[in-house]
Amino acid sequence: MSQKLLLSAKDLHIILFRLACQLKETHGDFAQTLLVGLQPRGVRLAERLLHILENEHNISNIQLSKLDITFFRDDFRRGDKVLNANDNSMEVGVEGKRIVLIDDVLYTGRSIRAALTAIDSYGRPEEIQLLTLIDRRFSRHLPIQPDFCGRQVDAIQNEHVVVCWEEEDSEDAVYMVNK
Amino acid sequence: MSELSVKHLLGIKYLNEADIRLIFETATQFKEVINRPIKKVPSLRDITIANLFFENSTRTKLSFELAQKRLSADVINFAASMSSLKKGETLIDTVNNILSMKVDMVVLRHASAGAASFLAQHVDATIINAGDGAHEHPTQALLDTFSIQERLGDVQGKKVVIIGDILHSRVALSNIFALQKLGAEVKVCGPKTLIPKHIKSLGVSVETDVKKALLWCDVANVLRVQFERMSASYFPSNREYTAFYGITKSMLDALDKKIVIMHPGPINRGVELSSEVVDSDQAIILDQVENGVAIRMAVLYLLAAKK
């Protein structure tokens, strides 16, 4: 197993600041916006972006929810793994909201398809956008593309993109791991 | 990624503590699902489930059916009263006929103890026991202990008394197993005629005085007197049972703590529980019903995941 550094802590921070700016340009005061972090790894990214928007751009009252897609995945009973669920916290209604789905890595697009269905069970949003930190291009199984993207990466099938966060993994970095 | 250690849910006896905790964790997620505006997930959309009820049931059947529909499974129902059993067909033949219609899971209620285990050995489908005679009723025990955990934070170390007709009760046996696996202390209380002779060998204590039992416990799970299973007289009259074992508001008010009152239903109001107790905030009877759907969704989901 070998690993290659894709983004250092500094690169990652520059990208996070840029993504926050892009969100602000599109969503203004975020009054009608709901940020939705996908469980488990997208939530940390969403929290980081929220932190920047609140502290660097002085926007308060931004709403953030966590969405778990386990019960909506299309590979249930198809792999060897049992799919265990994570918490949902979708107390804020989605009806009429501008949703930004946030996940760390966009790969086949199947998680996002599941998330789009999962969001549906909470109501009918005005629109749904997608923000991902890493876009593994040329590997999509479905016609899904991000609206906001941190970095595009070309990776072959047995390569794996791992996003590390200081809060959980003791460093901010993104690696490409070859299995 | 954790999974159940069993392929069928035949009884709590065959589950370990980790299984029960996994079912609880999954049920917590499903409880959130059934409180959404759209209460349905697509997980079991490629699964067909047959509910075979050879014995009458209202809430267990409804609860299972709702759980299956919330998981997008296809459901077929079968009630013994309308079946070919009356024409002399055996249980295995009946079930195999149903399985030929490409059914993946069977939820079985039967008057004979061991019916679910018997089926699991002889047919090729995942079997869930929804009550077999006076043996086990695993999903009821799971939802009962889940409701205790929800109300009191944990089951570990809690004192639970099961009051009433222990002899004819599958709910009692499954509850004893589940409570003990989760670390609770269990006592049974009822007239001596309705307490099985060797119950102490399960590690539970016996009390015949209901007031003492209430004083001891954190939770009282009150069972229904099962008139339909009684072939002999176990106590002189309903009125006498109520006089000795019926629980009233004044009995609860006389305690120095607020205990939790549970009942698996259907309640004989004014027999085992007074109406005032049933409707009080100490009773979590309706929470049990709500949790029943979430628990059954978790069981179906986790068993389906085993393929």
User: Is A71's CB within 8 Å of B306's CB?
Assistant: no
User: Is B36's CB within 8 Å of A71's CB?
Assistant: no
Furthest C-alpha separation in chain A: 47
Q: Which residues pair with B255 in a beta bridge?
A: none
Q: Give the pLDDT of residue B203.
A: 95
Q: Which fold has domain B12-137+289-305?
A: Rossmann fold (3.40.50)
Contact B103, B47 (CB under 8 A): no
Nearest CA in chain B to A119: B38
Q: B7: distance to nearest CA of chain A, Å?
A: 13
User: Is A83's CB within 8 Å of B305's CB?
Assistant: yes
Round to the nearest angstrom and report the end-to-end CA distance of chain B.
16
pLDDT above 70 covers what percent of chain A?
99
CB-nearest to B38 from A76, A81, A121 is A121
Burial (CB count within 10 angstroms: exposed 0-12, middle 13-18, buried 19+), residue A67: buried
Q: Give the pLDDT of residue B142.
A: 98
User: Is A82's CB within 8 Å of B29's CB?
Assistant: no
User: Is B43's CB within 8 Å of A76's CB?
Assistant: yes
Q: Which residues pair with A129 in a beta bridge?
A: A100
Phi, psi of B224 (to 5 degrees): -80, 145
Please determine whether the domains at B12-137+289-305 and B138-286 fall in the same fold group of CATH.
Answer: yes
Residues of A in contact with B26 (CB under 8 A): 84-85
User: Is A85's CB within 8 Å of B29's CB?
Assistant: yes
Q: Give the pLDDT of residue B106.
A: 95
CB-nearest to A120 from B38, B46, B305 is B38
How far apart are the C-alpha atoms of B180 and B172, rounded to whole Å? 12
DSSP state string for B120-173? HHHSSSEEEEEEETTTB-HHHHHHHHHHHHHHHS-STT-EEEEES--TT-HHHH
How far apart are the C-alpha atoms of A130 and A107, rounded to whole Å? 13
Nearest CA in chain B to A74: B43
| Nearest to B299, CA basis, from B22, B52, B42 | B22
User: Is A71's CB within 8 Å of B29's CB?
Assistant: yes
- Mean pLDDT of the region A101-115: 95
Of the listed ranges A35-49, A70-84, A133-147, B93-107, the least confidently predicted one is A70-84
Residues of A in contact with B43 (CB under 8 A): 71-72, 76
Domain boundaries defined on chain B: 12-137+289-305, 138-286
- Measured CA to CA in angstroms, residue B140 lies from B40, B112, B245 at distances of 22, 18, 23
Task: Give the CATH class of B138-286.
Answer: alpha beta
Q: Give the pLDDT of residue B245.
A: 93
Interface test with A, best of B5, B22, B33, B300 (most A CBs within 10 A): B33
Chain B residues with CB within 8 Å of chain A CB: 1-3, 22, 25-26, 29, 32-33, 36-43, 46, 301-302, 304-307
DSSP state of B105: E
CB-nearest to A71 from B1, B3, B43 is B43
pLDDT by 10-residue block (mean), chain B, 307 residues: 91 97 96 93 94 89 97 91 67 86 93 93 93 95 98 96 93 97 97 92 95 96 79 78 93 94 92 94 95 97 89
Give me the residue label for tokens 């079997």: B127
Domains in chain A: ranges and CATH: 9-25+34-72+80-156 (3.40.50.2020)
Q: For residue A133, give both structure tokens.
A: 């930190």
Residues of B in contact with A86 (CB under 8 A): 29
Give me the residue label for tokens 């079991």: B44
Q: A80: distance to nearest CA of chain B, Å?
A: 9
Counted across chains A and B, CB pairs separated by less than 8 A come out at 54
Furthest C-alpha separation in chain B: 59
| Structure confidence by residue, pLDDT tens digits, A54-94 | 999 999 999 999 999 999 998 888 877 777 888 888 888 89
pTM (two decimals): 0.90
User: Is A122's CB within 8 Å of B26's CB?
Assistant: no
Interface test with B, best of A66, A71, A83, A113 (most B CBs within 10 A): A71
Q: pLDDT: is A158 or A117 the higher one? A: A117
Q: Give the pLDDT of residue B231.
A: 62
User: Is A121's CB within 8 Å of B43's CB?
Assistant: no
CB-nearest to B42 from A68, A72, A122 is A72
